[in-house]
Amino acid sequence: MELEKSPSETKEETSQPDARFHLDEAALETLRTEAPWMKNPKYFQSVTISPSAIIKIMMHCQSGVDKGIQKGGNPIEVMGLLLGRPDTLNSNTLIITDAFPLPIEGFETRVVADDEHVVNHMISLGESLEATRKEKFMGWYHSHPFDLSEHSHCFLSQTDLTTQLQWQRAEDPHGNPFVALVVDPLRSMYTEYPEIKAFRAYPPEYNSPVPIECPNGSIETSDQIRLEKWGSCWNRYYELKVEYYMSTVSRKVIVDGLTQDSLWMRSLVRAPPSLWMPQMKSVANDFVHAANSKIVGSAGGGGRSAMGSRSSVRPDPPQSQEWNKVVMQVSDLAMEHLAQETLQESKNIVFSVGL
């Protein structure tokens, strides 16, 4: 199993999961020099995260929550740095290979990139990693451990946005596109699902062509809800899709070798259906807003296309995308519901006494 083959051969034979562990240095250099993200503010559409990164991020954010509560006060916000690179195989994707917590807490009112302490730690960390890692720091993550509410708290506040813009201005032109991850640890615990979103900021001269477009592409007519969900700078940044990858070796060892014993038990002890109610509510809300936007959009689009009937049906794609999204969400929820009910029934049969 020794990989003693020539680089091109190895690349072709590499299974999909491990493709991200290969590094085509020449291609990466070219990509960094070309810097297509400088011309297109929305160049990057997704990030893909390694298991060690997501685990470290979640654990660090949770430790901030625990620490704050232990001290008898509010959960503490934490932050850290991300290691990775742009993906040369799938353009528009950023690979996050690792995450490193920073010893800095409670900074929502400060612009972090100015902090000397942070910068010093970053420099030392960067130097210590040079011996073994080729990736660079290309992003930061932080937590929003605000109280549970109807919406996720994954958004960029004004301070966050300023920080992210500063990073982007410093790093993007040098071939190092920077990304921001925001975690909602309380919601993650509640839904047993990592509540994490990735964002990039628009440069000041760029404005989204779609009016009142939210970072995730949806149209939100209610000012208040928009502010709650996305903060005051809702039109100055956009959301990237979050995906995950895992190497074949990790999967073999962790999933097949080690946690096989405990993972299967987890599927028997799943969240009770009551926890899905908030999700149902949010999906229902999304549906209502999608319906609203459809009405608003078609009212406007109907007017426009009446004037220039030769124009292609441009208003349609973003809205049908949104429909698709909502429909997918609804069907996912329905499947989950069905699975939950089946689980409950089977548990009743196998485990209950005297039914």
58 binds other proteins (CB under 8 A): yes
SS3 90: coil
SS3 100: strand
CB-wise, 13 or 150, nearer to other proteins? 13
Sign of CA dihedral 215, 219, 223, 229: negative
Q: Could you tell me whether strands 179-183 and 196-201 are parallel, antiparallel, or unpaired per DSSP bridges?
A: antiparallel
123 binds other proteins (CB under 8 A): no
21 binds other proteins (CB under 8 A): yes
CB-wise, 113 or 246, nearer to other proteins? 246
Pick from 31, 44, 47, 50: which binds other proteins (CB under 8 A)?
50
Pick from 69, 170, 210, 255: which binds other proteins (CB under 8 A)?
255
CB of 234 to other proteins, least distance (A): 25
Q: Which of residues 135-154 bind other proteins (CB under 8 A)?
A: 135
Find, among 234, 243, 195, the residue nearest to 92 by Cα: 243
Find, among 121, 142, 125, the residue nearest to 133 by Cα: 125
Find, among 325, 308, 315, 295, the residue nearest to 209 by Cα: 315
SS3 74: coil
Pick from 9, 22, 158, 328: which binds other proteins (CB under 8 A)?
22
Question: CB under 8 A: which stretch of 38-46, 199-207, 220-228, 244-252 binds other proteins?
Answer: 244-252
Integer angstrom CA distances of residue 197 from 47, 136, 183:
10, 21, 7
Which x/- pattern, by CB under 8 A, does the window 269-288 give for other proteins? ------------------x-
Integer angstrom CA distances of residue 200 from 78, 122, 169, 236:
19, 21, 12, 9
Q: Which of residues 313-342 bind other proteins (CB under 8 A)?
A: 323, 327, 330-331, 334-339, 341-342
Total number of residues that touch other proteins (CB under 8 A): 100
Pick from 18, 77, 160, 286: which binds other proteins (CB under 8 A)?
18
Question: CB under 8 A: which stretch of 86-94, 158-166, 204-212, 257-265 binds other proteins?
Answer: 257-265
13 binds other proteins (CB under 8 A): no
CB of 243 to other proteins, least distance (A): 7
CB-wise, 93 or 97, nearer to other proteins? 97
Q: Which of residues 213-242 bind other proteins (CB under 8 A)?
A: none
**What's the rounded Cα separation, in Å, for the pair 193 and 241?**
15
351 binds other proteins (CB under 8 A): yes
**What's the rounded Cα separation, in Å, for the pair 160 and 157?**
5
Q: Which of residues 181-200 bind other proteins (CB under 8 A)?
A: 185, 188-189, 192-194
75 binds other proteins (CB under 8 A): no
Segment holding 83, helix H or strand E: strand 78-86
267 binds other proteins (CB under 8 A): yes
The contacts found for 336-339 with CB under 8 angstroms, 24 or more apart, are 336/276, 337/273, 337/276
Find, among 242, 229, 244, 159, the residue nearest to 201 by Cα: 159
Find, among 100, 99, 93, the residue nearest to 47 by Cα: 93
Which x/- pattern, by CB under 8 A, does the window 87-106 give for other proteins? ----------x--xxxx---
Question: CB under 8 A: which stretch of 30-38, 126-134, 157-165, 226-234 binds other proteins?
Answer: 126-134
Size of the chain, expressed as the number of residues it contains: 355
Find, among 314, 39, 353, the residue nearest to 203 by Cα: 39
Q: Which two tokens stand for residue 315?
A: 């208003």
CB of 38 to other proteins, least distance (A): 25
